Amino acid sequence: MLKPIKDRWSFLSPVTIVIDALDECDNADDRVEILNLILEAVKESNMRVLIASRPEQEIHAFFQRKDVSQHTYHIRLDEETFQTSRDIEIFLRSEFARIRESRPEVCLHLPNGEDWPGEVVIIRIRDDSDSQFIFPRLAIDYIDTPSFSPNQQLHNLLTAPPPHAFSKLDALYHLIISRRSADLIQAGDGALRHYEEVVMSILQIVVAWPGGPLSASQIARILREQVDVVQNIIRGTMRSLFKFESNDLDSPIALCHKSLRDYLLERARSYEFFIPAGDADVLFHQLLSRQRSTKKAVPPYSQHDCLDVLTALTVREQALTKDQIKDLLDIDTGLVECVVNGPAKWLFNIDAHGAIQFSTPAVKTFLRDPERSERFSTSDKEPDAFFLRILARHSSLPISTTKR
């Protein structure tokens, strides 16, 4: 991995590489591996590396090692040294001026003659930021959300932090996720509950779906929801929680900051917005458990049919076509179609030749673990029972499993 770097820069003057937000690499072991590779490269070349990161435990421990400290210099971006509050204040003044210019409805003077939002408010948000730029950025995005009054949004921000919040940032996340528009409230409890369920489902998919980030259109298909509904949440009411490359429906969606993921995965911080375990198991259960009570009619198939298809794909190493599954299980092709293109379709991939595999290896691992998959378990510990069942279907004679 390091050879191209060494070959390229062995004869050049020192080159500096900047690595930002190392802490946003989700796996702690991967972060340490990256650091070890960087250390090896620095020792054997004239390369310099500038790493910016929050001091996660394993990152902090790495830089405390004796063999590392002699090659590194640590700069703490604290308030006393770098006066980050000054930079945050400059940012806030610039952003509030932009809002006043772009949204004339807030271009008003306060009773003391100051421009909105006033000196006291700017200083308060600056101080609440605790030297973290993520807070003022989120605060500005929240205040400047389209279709919401900036004055009302600012009032919410200043008056409605939950009492259990660990920090001002947690309070802001809680406020954004619990946002409800006047239109939703007027529409009644049913519309409000549905909206809240969709919001949490979107967050759960973005946090937990294995195999890389998904787009708004993909998320909508997983949820069997209108694309416009998902789009309006991701790029409208909840836009400050997400980042995306473009407004294209197929642009991958990610969380705005790793601190949001940390917040959602810790029950003591997120309370009712807690996402269990942070893995995909809950999503897999939800997809496999969907019934005809969902908005769009689900083609009828039994759980037995579903489990047979899942087991066929689990016990066979190679991909199978719909016809091969049909012949193996001695069932109608339509039932196979219902399973792989029904509510759980996002658990499967179908290639250009019609071969079906699980969309990610995590699905097979989930199904093979009875403790995780429970009633959907296709444990490969005893595949004989499955093969005997298949043989019985294809035979005119009953097959006895009694040992003699």
CATH class of 296-394: mainly alpha
What average pLDDT does the structure give for the chain? 80
pTM above 0.75, yes or no: no
Q: Give the Å distances, CA to CA, from 12 to 4, 43, 178.
A: 13, 15, 54
How many angstroms separate the CA atoms of 98 and 4, rounded? Answer: 46
CB neighbours of 280 closer than 8 A, spacing ≥ 6?
Answer: 208, 209, 210, 362, 366
Chain region(s) in the chain for CATH 1.10.10: 182-273, 296-394
Minimum mean pLDDT range among 47-56, 197-206, 315-324, 384-393: 384-393
Question: By C-alpha distance, which of 302, 286, 282, 304 is closest to 343?
Answer: 286
Q: Please, which residues bridge with residue 357 across strands?
A: 349
Query: Per residue in 39-89, pLDDT tens?
Result: 887 777 777 888 888 778 888 888 888 888 888 888 877 656 678 889 999
User: What one-character DSSP code corresponds to residue 345?
Assistant: G
Query: Per residue in 73-129, pLDDT tens?
Result: 888 776 566 788 899 999 999 999 999 989 887 766 777 888 899 999 999 999 998
Report whether CATH 1.10.10 matches the domain 182-273: yes
Query: Per residue in 314-334, pLDDT tens?
Result: 887 788 888 888 888 878 888
